[in-house]
Amino acid sequence: MPGRHSKEDFLTDLDALDLAALNSATKYPPIPTYHEIDRGILLDKVQAFSGDVVLTEKVDGTNARIVVFPDGDYAIGSREDLLHAKGDRIVNPVHGIVPALCSLADRLAAPAAGLRVYFFEVYGDKITKASEQYTGSRQVGFRLFDVAAVDSSVLELPAHAISSWREHGGQQFLNENELALMAADNGVELTPRVGTVAADQLPTGLAAMQEFLATRLPGTRVALDDGAGGRPEGIVLRSTDRSVIAKARAEDYARTMRRLAGR
């Protein structure tokens, strides 16, 4: 009948939604370290991979997201909070995320149903202590590193259930090929691909992994100007189907090796 709206319509109407539920369902889940970590010190146990493993640069910035609705409406958020919505709703200028991503949000492809969440690293300026490694003139950049689909029905769940759903892999992430196509279709740059290795070729020792990072990524590939310091943060390891993901930060390995040397 004319004028009637389905339940799905209301669950993808930003103005009608519980923003706390939307915020929780679209947060990025934590990435485990490649070597298990305890109180800042890496242990011998490694994250298990199989098949090919894609290596990407881990950019030291601030995590950001753009949540796109089927009608083209969108919300922009930091790791923890929603900051802005199309038409200057929910305005919060923290971390410079909104200015960096607002024009992009207006042209990102919308999903046919449900929600699509684009995850970015916004870096440079004075966003983190490592910003000088990317710029000497306070420039700001961003790179897409993941895209996930979120079923809008999740937004009806209680807060604790949404959190549990998210932390247990409820978001459906694109695989490596799908992510590359999505980036190309939207004219967005991905975090740099450093290479692909077979899982059985990954180092398992702490010192060996430290050397692997230094060899594979001796300098950042996302410098914004000639004044950048150039030191990279590390590498993210991900299976091609995105079922397993882990991070390896150079600082964690340096700290651990210093601790072990001082025993």
CB neighbour list of residue 11: distance below 8 Å, 6 or more residues apart: 17, 152, 153, 155, 156
Task: Give every CB contact of residue 197 below 8 A, 6+ residues apart in sequence.
Answer: 52, 53, 55
Return the bridge partners of 231, or none. none
pLDDT score of 60: 97
Dihedral in degrees, nearest 10, Cα atoms 151, 189, 196, 174? 10
Residue pair 224/230 in contact by the 8 Å Cβ criterion:
no
**Structure-token pair, residue 106:** 């207006």
pLDDT at 2: 43
> What pLDDT sits at residue 1?
38
Closest CA to 149 of 122, 182, 180: 182
Q: Which domains does the chain have, with CATH numbers?
A: 1-30+60-190 (3.30.470.30), 32-59+192-263 (no CATH)
| Alpha-carbon Rg for the chain in angstroms | 19
Which among 28, 53, 48 is positioned nearest to 36, based on CA atoms?
48
pTM, two decimals, is 0.93
pLDDT at residue 183, rounded to an integer: 98
pLDDT at 5 (0 to 100): 44
Amino acid at 85: A
Task: Return d(Cα 60, Cα 25) in angstroms, integer.
Answer: 24
> DSSP for 23-49?
HHHTSPPPPPBSEEEETTEEEEEE---
Q: What is the pLDDT along the chain (263 residues), one digit of tens a residue?
A: 344 444 555 556 787 788 999 999 999 999 999 999 999 999 999 999 999 999 999 999 999 999 999 999 999 999 999 999 988 776 666 668 998 999 999 999 999 999 999 999 999 999 999 999 999 999 999 999 999 999 999 999 999 999 999 999 999 999 999 999 999 999 999 999 999 999 999 999 999 999 999 999 999 999 999 999 999 999 999 999 999 999 999 999 999 999 999 86
Apex 130 CA angle, 203 and 118, nearest 5:
75
Structure tokens that stand for 255 in this block: 């700290």
> In the prediction, which pLDDT does 139 show?
96
Q: Say how far apart CA 64 and CA 72 lie, in whole Å.
A: 18
Please tell me the distance from the alpha carbon of residue 146 to that of residue 27, in angstroms, as a whole number: 12
Residue labelled with tokens 């109407």 = 13
Q: Which pair of structure tokens corresponds to residue 205?
A: 């020792």
